[in-house]
Amino acid sequence: MRYRIRNQRPLGRTVGSTDMLAPPRPVSSVRAAPPPGPTSDLTEVEDATLARALIERHPQAPRVAWARFSPLVRRIVRRSLGPASDTEDAVQDVFVCLFEKAHTLRDPAALKAFIVAITVRTVRYQVRRRRVRAWVGLGDTGELPDIRVVESNTESRQALLHFYRILDRVGSKDRAAFVLRFIDGMEVADVASALETSVPTARRRFTRAYRRVALLAGRDPFLAEYLASLRGGEKP
């Protein structure tokens, strides 16, 4: 006696289906490449790769970002805030913000500009905070900043103190533009990017700040030589 087994099909397959003969596709053809693993070395990678590692919370990324960008951040903070500043606290604030906000970076290749923009916002906050402290009679102390043409003599130190007192009378946005353009030597486009504004607006800001600083410094004999050295005596 013969028995007919009806509707017998291979498990997980459909009779006549072409996928029974097709080889399995490699995972790499259907999935994006994974982010760097915990053991990956990020010290020599490009900024874009480091930015992606920060976004993916790679354990090595914060240390590499600090080593690569903290000198830049520290220089901008010192040149922006002058003697009466706590530079290291401000630098740490910048990196705390970077690690918290890295996921908002749309263009990983713009990591440096992103960090400079955070630094500028941090500096502007510190400037406003300083003014509030001045209004209520509180003061700050600190070391002299490491900026151009500063010499270790009494006259230069005095001129520097006078210079930052004048800079304290400039609005925070104009002040940031002035420092980035004339003290840090950034290109106009980079200043605009750091201030998150257009090139014409950035130019108006540092030009306005330059004129105000020039007007006030022209009345102070300590500052004449220093101001002329900012751009070799040229006007913006």
CATH number (domain holding residue 156): 1.10.10.10
- Compute the mean pLDDT over every residue in the chain, rounded to the nearest whole number: 75
State how many domains the chain has: 2
Q: Is the pLDDT of residue 134 over 80?
A: no
22 conformational bin, left if phi > 0, alpha if psi -120 to 50, beta if neither: beta
Give percent above pLDDT 70 in the chain.
Answer: 64
CA-nearest of 184, 168, 192, 163 to 231 is 184
Does 160 lie in the same domain as 115? no
Q: Classify residue 197 by its DSSP letter.
A: S
Mean pLDDT of 171-183: 90
Does 169 lie in the same domain as 187? yes
Confidence at residue 120, expressed as pLDDT on a 0 to 100 scale: 92
- pTM equals 0.64
User: Which stretches does DSSP call E strand in the chain?
Assistant: none
pLDDT tens track for 221-236: 767 665 566 545 444 5
Confidence at residue 32, expressed as pLDDT on a 0 to 100 scale: 44
- Examine the fold and report which residue of 146, 167, 199 is the final residue of a domain before the chain moves on: 146
- Is residue 9 in a domain? no
Mean pLDDT of 159-175: 85
Mean pLDDT of 1-17: 46
CATH number (domain holding residue 49): 1.10.1740.10
Mean pLDDT of 123-148: 53
pLDDT tens track for 41-51: 788 899 999 99
- Write out the DSSP string of 26-71: PGGGTSPPPPPPTT---TTS-HHHHHHHHHTT-TTHHHHHHHHHHH
Confidence at residue 85, expressed as pLDDT on a 0 to 100 scale: 65
- Domain encompassing residue 71: 43-146
Mean pLDDT of 143-161: 55
- Examine the fold and report which residue of 104, 122, 146 is the final residue of a domain before the chain moves on: 146
pLDDT tens track for 113-133: 999 999 999 988 888 766 554
Confidence at residue 217, expressed as pLDDT on a 0 to 100 scale: 82
Does 204 lie in the same domain as 126? no
